Each structure stands twice: as C-alpha cells, then as structure tokens.
C-alpha cells in the first residue's frame, strides 16, 4: 500500500512512509517565518497624486528584519517639473532643494538595489508602488516584482474603530507609540511606518500568524476559531494524496486531494479559502486523515471512491454516482428509447445502453435528437408482436414521424432495420444523427427561427456528449487488462494497471531501474476485478474517464493490452470535436457553419 489507512480496495507498490514516529514540526514547515523576512518600508513624496502626470521628489526607506533596523535609504529626486506651491508647503520640499538632486533614472536603480530580495511595505501601498512602477517605465528598468504588504489593509483587520479614529499613518503612529512623528518627509514617514508595522505584526502574532504566507493572505474574514485549527495540518505529510476531514464522531465531512497534502489543508485555515461552506466544515472538523498516494492518478481515483463510499455532506460533486441516468433501447418486439437509472444485465437479450449522462434533462435531449434522425416509435406502451385488428395510429404516424408498427403498417422486420440504425448510432456511427439534426438547425437558422434552432442544437450536443462518453468507455471496459507507463517527474516510470476500466494498481519505479520486474509485481498483486455484468466498466464511469485521460496524455506508452482498445472512426467524438466549440460560443446564433 502507498501509505495511510486505506478504506477502499487498491494496490500500490510504492514504498510507504514511516508511521508511528513522532515528528517535531517547525515554523519552517509552515512557510517563511516572519523573523527571517527582510522588509523594506518605503515612503515617497511626489508633486501630485497621479503617477502618469506627476513625479517623485523624495524616496525614503528603512530595511528591517527580526524587529531590528538594518539600514536606511534617503534621496531627493529631481522630478523634472515644478513643485506645486501647496505641495511645497505640505512637504517642505521646494524647487531649489530638488534642482541639483539626481533624476529618477539615477535614483531609482540605487533604491531597487537597496530593496533587492526584500518584501516592500508601504502605508497605502497602491500609491507608492504605483509611482515606483511608473518610474521603472520612465527609466527603462524592469519592475523586480517584489511582494508588497500594505499596512493600511492590515490595520483595517486588526485595529478597531474604538482604538483609532481612522487608518491614517499619524493616527496609527500615535496608537503604537512611534518614536517618529510623520511629517510628510519620506524617511521620517518610513520610520513611523516601521513602528506601525511592528505593532501590527505583534497583533497578528497573537492570532497565530507566524509566516509570510499567512500574513500576505491574512484577513479578518477568517474567524479566530478557524485559525486555531491550523494544528490539524501539523502532522500531515508534504506528499501527494487524499485527505479526509472528520468530526468528533469520526464521520467524514469532506474529501479532497492535493499534490501536497499539508500545504493544501493549511489553506482551509487562511483567507485563501473563500468558500463559506468550508468555514462551516472546518468548525465541525476535529481530525484530518491523510492517505498518501504514489501517483496523481491514484489520488484522483481514491478521491472519487471515498466520496462515493462516505457521501460527505460538504462535497459538492455527486455523492450518488449510481443514480446517473442512461439511455436504453428496450427489449421488446418493437423496441423504444427510454431514460433509466438502473443498468440491467440484458444486453445479451437485445438491450443497448448509452451514457451515463450528467442529468435526466441531457438524456431526454439525446432521445429527442435520435427521434429527429430515426422513425423509432415514441409511445411508451408495449406493442405486441401481432397488433390488434382495431389498433389506431397516433398523430406522429400521420406526420410521418413513425411507421405505426402498432397498427401493423410497419412489419417487425422493417422496424428492425430502424432499430439496427439506432444501435449503430449508439455504438459506432453518429453521422446519421448529426446530418438529420443539422439539417433542421440550419433550416431554422435560415428562417431566423433562432430559438428553435438553439433547441435542436442543444439536443444534438447532448446526444454527442453522451454517445462520445459511452463509445470511449466501452472498449476500455471490455479490456480484461491494460498496462501503461509514463516517465515520472523525478525519474523512473509511473506504471498503471487497468482491468475492465477500473484502476487496479499503480507504482513508480526507481530512477534508472529496469521497470520490467516492477510491472510484473504490479500485475501479480493488482486488484482482482471481475468482468462487469452490464454494459459499463467495472468502476464508476467518472473513474474510467480519469484513467482514459491519463492514458491519452502525452508520453504514455502501452505495455500490455489484453483485449481491444479502440475508438470508432465515425463515432460521436469526431462530430463533438467539431461542433462542441461552436455550441459553446455561438450564443444567440445557433446555426453551425460548415467547417
């Protein structure tokens, strides 16, 4: 097994991680500790409020780390334009003072070198960073892409209105007892912002924020109760796999997957998780169970199976995949189309199935598309092999939409020809349906009956989506065994074992090793999968689709196939590939243009 407590049958020959060993977590495991982050607190004085038309007159900055001041930077800047009188009164910076100062083309590179590798901090950062970005454009210098922290935004979340009348720098400097009074000079204002920053960091530290990643995503929308549950992620591994949130009774609340279980679970306790139902789920959760998986495909499949097994109330995806609708060609003397939720083992008796579909509405649209193409009966009553002498035809027969087998106007052999065409549309050739419905779509479009054309378009697309799904799944579902491999990111091979469309095992071979013995071991130890009794695969179709997407991904090589894995040349996938984009983009113009 690939680690964790496996609650679904599965085989993986990857080496399991050590269990039962206590691991002392560190702040480094949780992100970049704030004590190790270098902040450069910057403040600018300018000739006005717009970086498009105004220039910088002064840059002041303070470099701090771990609560200590490391260095300071200050320079006047010649803005290349006159300093307005009210700006000179506000800042005390006059034309005479900046006349001999360096221009921004000289001052900016010196500041960027001072701030290299640091997180930029500013009070109302949008203003200062906007001017610095504009200055980079003016000087022909690339913006380094610093992380930016805005003390105004942070203060809004941790400073109450009863503590400070507003979030101005002067108000916050008084609140936190700054030793420097802001005076609209760049270096003094930057010094005051340093004191405000340290005061704000002390407050968020009391809330358990200890890393840069948590600080940059911090918001008051995350409740203290939600943050306090961060410890649930501490024992989890930095490994790909599946995680299960559980409540105090052990009930599974939510199942998810990730390439890094610990990092993903920690996001549920920060502002990066914005779904309201997840906040409710976290409030109920008391434990998180990890299941480490050898490959991403294994994680995807495990997630599906666990959701189907536990039916967690906070998972939005279908918790009842067994209820998916199918389209059935019934077993009767005169078969008809029917939407069903139960797939029986009656294919050998003449039944045919198409699907599964995403919804009953989609299945009904597919039925309508088939009725457009074939004169198969639409009535639901059972017609005997020998119709009654007094049987009457319905309106559809009068409209030439049905051959009226109920009255004997159409023989059983004649009707069987139509049924054979429907079977072919189910299994291999969708061209008859496509041509018939497209004629109706384009005729309505030419008559500017766009709503009617859209209705027929949607019917055709519903059929193509269901049929392409069925035609892709069926061949793999009939393969008793398929082995495929793909180069792993860290070297070696990801090997996948599939039996009757079900993922029966997976492994990753060591880099440089001969994969043959590992493949042989996987085939010997893989899950024993009985042949499915119905038309579908031995797994839920969504699982088989995930396996198919992996098999069809670049770099995959087939190692062994027992059976026939193919796709029909004139199948629904061919037409869907051509028409699906048109249906998604045409909007109020539902006709399909040739080509």
- For 271-326, the pLDDT digits (tens) are 555 566 777 888 889 999 999 998 889 999 999 999 989 999 888 765 566 678 88
Both tokens of 126, joined, read 């949008």
Given the residues 123, 184, 280, 310, select the one marked as catalytic. 184
Which of these, 583, 334, 576, lies nearest to 470 by C-alpha position? 576
Residues 179 and 64 in one domain: yes
Among the candidates 407, 439, 469, a domain finishes at 469
| b/e sequence 6-23, b meaning 16+ C-beta within 10 Å | ebeebbbbbeeeeeeeee
570: in domain: no
364: in domain: yes
Total domains, the chain: 4
Stretch (H or E) spanning 493: strand 493-499
Region label for 586, one of left (φ > 0), alpha (ψ between -120 and 50) or beta (otherwise): alpha
d(CA 568, CA 566): 7
Residues 502 and 465 in one domain: no
265: in domain: yes
Strand partners, 494: 486, 508
pLDDT computed for residue 453 by the predictor: 87
Residues 512 and 490 in one domain: yes
Half-sphere exposure of 570 (CA within 13 A, CB side): 11
Residues 425 and 495 in one domain: no
pLDDT computed for residue 398 by the predictor: 67
> Which structural domain range is residue 415 located in?
323-469
Both tokens of 123, joined, read 């009070």
pLDDT computed for residue 348 by the predictor: 75
pLDDT computed for residue 274 by the predictor: 57
| C-alpha dist (Å) from residue 247 to 91, 226, 244, 250 | 59, 14, 10, 5
Residues 198 and 280 in one domain: no
pLDDT computed for residue 390 by the predictor: 64
pLDDT computed for residue 99 by the predictor: 95
Strands 148-150 and 119-122: parallel
Contact 253, 288 (CB under 8 A): no
19: in domain: no
Residues 40 and 154 in one domain: yes
Which of these, 237, 258, 294, lies nearest to 509 by C-alpha position? 294
Range list of H helices, 447-571: 450-477, 515-525, 541-551
103: in domain: yes
578: in domain: no
Residue with token string 């598309």: 369
540 is catalytic: no
Residues of the chain with pLDDT under 50: 1-30, 220, 583-595
Residues 140 and 252 in one domain: no
pLDDT computed for residue 273 by the predictor: 54
pLDDT computed for residue 396 by the predictor: 75
pLDDT computed for residue 585 by the predictor: 44
């Amino acid at each position: 097994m690939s680690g964790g407590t496996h609650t679904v049958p599965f085989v993986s020959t990857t080496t399991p991680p050590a269990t039962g060993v206590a691991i002392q977590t560190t702040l480094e495991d949780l992100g970049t500790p704030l004590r190790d982050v270098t902040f450069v607190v910057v403040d600018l004085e300018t000739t006005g409020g717009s970086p498009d038309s105004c220039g910088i007159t002064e840059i002041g900055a303070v470099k701090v780390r771990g609560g200590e001041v490391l260095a300071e930077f200050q320079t006047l800047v010649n803005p290349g334009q006159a300093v307005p009188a009210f700006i000179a009164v506000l800042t005390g910076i006059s034309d005479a003072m900046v006349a001999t100062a360096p221009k921004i083309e000289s001052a900016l590179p010196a500041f960027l070198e001072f701030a290299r590798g640091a997180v930029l901090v500013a009070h109302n950062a949008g203003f200062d960073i906007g001017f610095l970005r504009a200055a980079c454009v003016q000087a022909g210098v690339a913006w380094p892409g610093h992380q930016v922290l805005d003390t105004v935004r942070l203060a809004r979340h941790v400073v109450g209105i009863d503590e400070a009348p507003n979030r101005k720098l002067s108000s916050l400097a008084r609140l936190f007892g700054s030793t420097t009074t802001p005076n609209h000079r760049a270096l003094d204002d930057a010094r005051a912002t340093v004191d405000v920053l340290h005061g704000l960091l002390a407050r968020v530290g009391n809330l358990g924020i200890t890393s840069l990643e948590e600080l940059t995503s911090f918001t008051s929308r995350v409740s203290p109760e939600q943050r306090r549950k961060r410890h649930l992620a501490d024992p989890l591994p930095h490994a790909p796999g599946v995680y299960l949130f559980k409540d105090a009774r052990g009930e599974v609340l939510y199942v998810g997957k990730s390439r890094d279980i610990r990092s993903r679970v920690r996001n549920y306790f920060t502002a990066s998780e914005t779904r309201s139902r997840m906040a409710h789920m976290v409030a109920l959760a008391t434990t998180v169970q990890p299941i480490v998986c050898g490959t991403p495909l294994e994680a995807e499949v495990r997630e599906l199976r666990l959701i189907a097994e536990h039916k967690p109330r906070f998972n939005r995806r279908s918790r009842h995949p067994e209820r998916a609708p199918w389209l059935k060609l019934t077993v009767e003397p005169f078969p008809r189309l029917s939407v069903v939720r139960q797939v029986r083992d009656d294919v050998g008796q003449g039944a045919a199935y198409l699907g599964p579909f995403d919804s009953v509405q989609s299945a009904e649209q597919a039925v309508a598309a088939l009725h457009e193409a074939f004169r198969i009966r639409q009535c639901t009553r059972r017609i005997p092999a020998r119709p009654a002498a007094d049987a009457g035809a319905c309106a559809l027969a009068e409209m030439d939409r049905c051959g009226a087998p109920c009255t004997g106007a159409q023989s059983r052999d004649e009707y069987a020809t139509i049924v054979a065409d429907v079977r072919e549309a189910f299994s291999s050739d969708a061209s008859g349906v496509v041509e018939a419905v497209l004629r109706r779509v384009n005729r309505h479009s030419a008559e500017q009956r766009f709503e009617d054309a859209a209705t027929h378009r949607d019917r055709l697309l519903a059929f193509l989506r269901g049929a392409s799904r069925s035609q892709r799944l069926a061949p793999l579902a009939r393969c008793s065994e398929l082995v495929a491999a793909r180069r792993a990111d860290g070297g070696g091979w990801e090997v996948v074992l599939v039996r009757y469309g079900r993922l029966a095992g997976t492994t990753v071979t060591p880099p440089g090793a001969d994969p043959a013995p590992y493949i042989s071991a996987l085939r010997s130890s893989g899950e024993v999968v009985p042949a499915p009794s119905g038309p579908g695969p031995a797994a839920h179709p969504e699982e088989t689709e995930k396996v198919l997407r992996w098999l069809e991904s670049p770099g995959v090589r087939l190692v062994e196939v027992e059976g026939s894995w193919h796709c029909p040349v004139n199948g629904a996938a061919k037409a869907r590939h051509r028409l699906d984009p048109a249906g998604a983009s045409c909007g109020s113009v539902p006709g399909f243009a040739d080509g």
